[in-house]
Amino acid sequence: MVRVPEPGRWRSEKVSHGYVADYKPFVMVDGQGVRCSLYVSGCLFGCEGCYNEAAWSFRYGRPYDDELEERILVDLAHEAVQGLTLMGGEPFLNTRVCLRLLHRVRERFGRSRDVWCWSGYTFEQLLAEGAAGRADTLALLDGLDVLVDGPFLIERRDLSLAFRGSTNQRVLDVPASLAARRPIVWAGASDARRSDADAGSSPSDLAPTVSHADRVARRALL
Ligand code: SF4
């Protein structure tokens, strides 16, 4: 059973140790285009069937450090790279690491690299976290371009979905969602059947199809 926190109850500064489970440059399964993916360590949602259960521990992997940050920035400079992906674990319970990197990326690349994030929180929950005093949550959300939101629900699993593992999850355009104060589906979502209904917005059909099955298979190789 997925855990659902009361707003403000889980706080990054209390649970995160600044660890990362993995870093993968030049991947094509963690969002649109060629990407550099950082997997932060630690998640409290406890989804049954999680694709990366090893990263539930906040001490899994190794500490994030200057050396890794510089490597990520060098990799992002490659002309073929479209952007950075933050996943885990739970990025919104590792905001110190994610915000530090996000600030460096925006400082160096501006908006020429997009930033995607996978979170067990829904967009609405993240707004509620911010309203409950978690300024770090709003700061990270504000820096994203695309958010794949919500926990993985095994009873709603659909391995044919692009970018998502279960039909409750949505691929959201974060700037548009923040401006509207409601979830707006990212225009590039190619397979957003449930998201369309959930978020009340109309996706177009442009993006490459990368399914949860692809990501599960890749994680199995790590
Ligand atoms: S939110 Fe993501 S990382 Fe956390 S348990 Fe669920 S699927 Fe796994």
Per-residue pLDDT tens digits for 141-174: 999 999 999 999 999 999 999 999 999 999 999 9
Whether residue 89 is preceded by a cis peptide bond, meaning omega within 30 degrees of 0, is yes
Report d(CA 183, CA 149) in Å as an integer.
10
Q: Specify the pTM.
A: 0.87
Q: Which atom of ligand 1 is least distant from the CA of 165?
A: 7
CA angle 54, 24, 148 (to 5 degrees): 70
Report d(CA 23, CA 125) in Å as an integer.
27
Q: Is the CB of 150 under 6 A from ligand 1?
A: no
**pLDDT tens by residue, 14-37:** 999 999 999 999 999 999 999 999
Q: Residue 136: how many CB atoms within 10 A of its CB?
A: 20
How many whole angstroms from 108 Cα to the centroid of ligand 1?
30
Amino acid in position 61: G
Amino acid in position 137: T
Amino acid in position 212: H
In the numeric block, which tokens belong to residue 24? 């993968």
- Sorted by where each begins, the domain ranges of the chain are 12-221
Q: Which atom of ligand 1 is least distant from the CA of 88?
A: 3
Is 12-221 CATH 3.40.50?
Answer: no
